[in-house]
Structure 1
Amino acid sequence: MKNVIVIATLMVSLNSVAQDQYTKGMQRAFQLWGEQKTMEASNMFERIASVEMDNWLPHYYAAQVNTVAAFGEKDKEKVGQLLGKAQEYIDMAKVISPDNPEILVQQAMVHTAWIAFDGATYGMTLSGKVAALYEKALQLAPKNPRVVFSKAEWDMGSAKYFGQDITPYCADVKRSLELFANFKPESEFHPSWGEDRAKTVLENCGK
């Protein structure tokens, strides 16, 4: 009986140490990202993901940090490297957490980054996929503010491209802000981004 108690205590201690290392690692990765040290942040998320094989979050952020870096990049080789790595980690995240609306939004962002880089080449092949991803995410999580806002921003961009009225999508952005106001992430590391961007988009709606 004493041995069982010792083993149980040891297991609890090991789990606590592992959790503490995970927390410190994630905090450090976000710190690096905030300091614009994209490569270092990506490497940190990747190292955490290699250990946290059943946790989709470090995979998600490894994808996100590379996706964000790809927007605005003009060098095709660099864009390919960044978005190739992003896709690799999105694919792993999907295996861990299938039909996850946050991951679907991130996948849509990867495709959008390709379209932003070269719309003539990638617009025709990827635009439909982006729209489908947002539709699926909305069906899965109609009250997720990132889903509502990201879909609205995509729809707004599409409407502008085709010379259509964006007013209906301004209303969707406003609704996303109402959802952001009441949104509580499951943990300190679950996605919580988007509110500031949504406020900026709404301020410029119709201008």
Structure 2
Amino acid sequence: MKKVITILAVFISTLTFAQDQYTKGMQKAFGLWGEGKTAEASNLFERISTAEMDNWLPAYYAAQVNTVASFGEKDKEKLVKQLEKAQEFVDIAKAISPNNPEILIQQAMIHTAYVVFDGASYGMTLSPEIVALYQKALAIAPDNPRVVFSKAEWDMGSAKYFGQDTAPYCKEVERALELFANFKPESEFHPNWGKDRAEIVAKDCGK
């Protein structure tokens, strides 16, 4: 009995240490990202992902860091390199957690970064995929505020491009803000972004 208790104590201690290392690593990666150290943050999320092979979150953030950095990038070679890395990690995240609405949004964001960079080259091929991803995410998680807002923002951009009324999508942005108000992430590191952006878009609605 004493041997069983000792083994159990060692197991719990090892598990606690591993969890503590994960928490510290993720906090450090977010800190680097917040300081604008994109490459360092991406590399750290990548290392954590390698260690946490059954956890989709580090790979998700490795993808997101590279995707966010690609918006506004003017150098095509750099942009493609960042987005290829983002795709690599979103594929890892999808393998761990299939049909995850947060990962579907991240995939749509990768495609959107290409379209924003060069709509003439990527718009025709990727726009239908983006629409399909948001529809799938909405079917899985109709009350996820990021799903509702991200889809509404994409639809709004498309409407503006084609000279159509954006009012219906403004209502969806308002609905997303209501959902954000009551949203609680599953953990400290689960996705919890989007509210600030939704507030900005809501203020611009109808202008």
With the shorter chain as reference, the TM-score category is over 0.9
Match of 1:52 in 2: 52
Give the Cα–Cα distance (whole angstroms) in 2 for the partners of residues 103 and 175 of structure 1: 21
Give the Cα–Cα distance (whole angstroms) in 2 for the partners of residues 143 and 115 of structure 1: 27
* Residue identity in the other structure for 1:182: N
* Residue identity in the other structure for 2:174: K
Structure 1 residue runs of 5 or longer lacking an equivalent are none
Match of 1:187 in 2: 187
For the aligned residue pairs, the C-alpha RMSD in angstroms reads: 0.4
> Is structure 2 residue 121 aligned with structure 1 residue 124?
no
Matches within 5 A, 1:32-181: 32-181=32-181
Match of 1:8 in 2: 8
Instruction: Give the percent of matched residue pairs that are identical in Structure 1 and Structure 2.
Output: 72
Give the length in aligned residue pairs. 207
Offset, 1:206: 1.5
* Residue identity in the other structure for 1:25: G
Match of 1:198 in 2: 198
Offset, 1:179: 0.1
Residue 29 of structure 1 aligns to a residue whose secondary structure is helix
Give the Cα–Cα distance (whole angstroms) in 1 for the partners of residues 40 and 187 of structure 2: 23
Offset, 1:205: 0.7
Give the Cα–Cα distance (whole angstroms) in 2 for the partners of residues 52 and 146 of structure 1: 25
Structure 2 residue runs of 5 or longer lacking an equivalent are none
Give the Cα–Cα distance (whole angstroms) in 2 for the partners of residues 152 and 81 of structure 1: 28
Give the Cα–Cα distance (whole angstroms) in 1 for the partners of residues 45 and 93 of structure 2: 13
Give the Cα–Cα distance (whole angstroms) in 1 for the partners of residues 170 and 72 of structure 2: 25
Match of 2:31 in 1: 31
* Residue identity in the other structure for 2:13: S
* Residue identity in the other structure for 1:71: F
TM-score by length of 2: 1.00
TM-score by length of 1: 1.00
Give the Cα–Cα distance (whole angstroms) in 1 for the partners of residues 54 and 117 of structure 2: 33
Offset, 1:150: 0.1
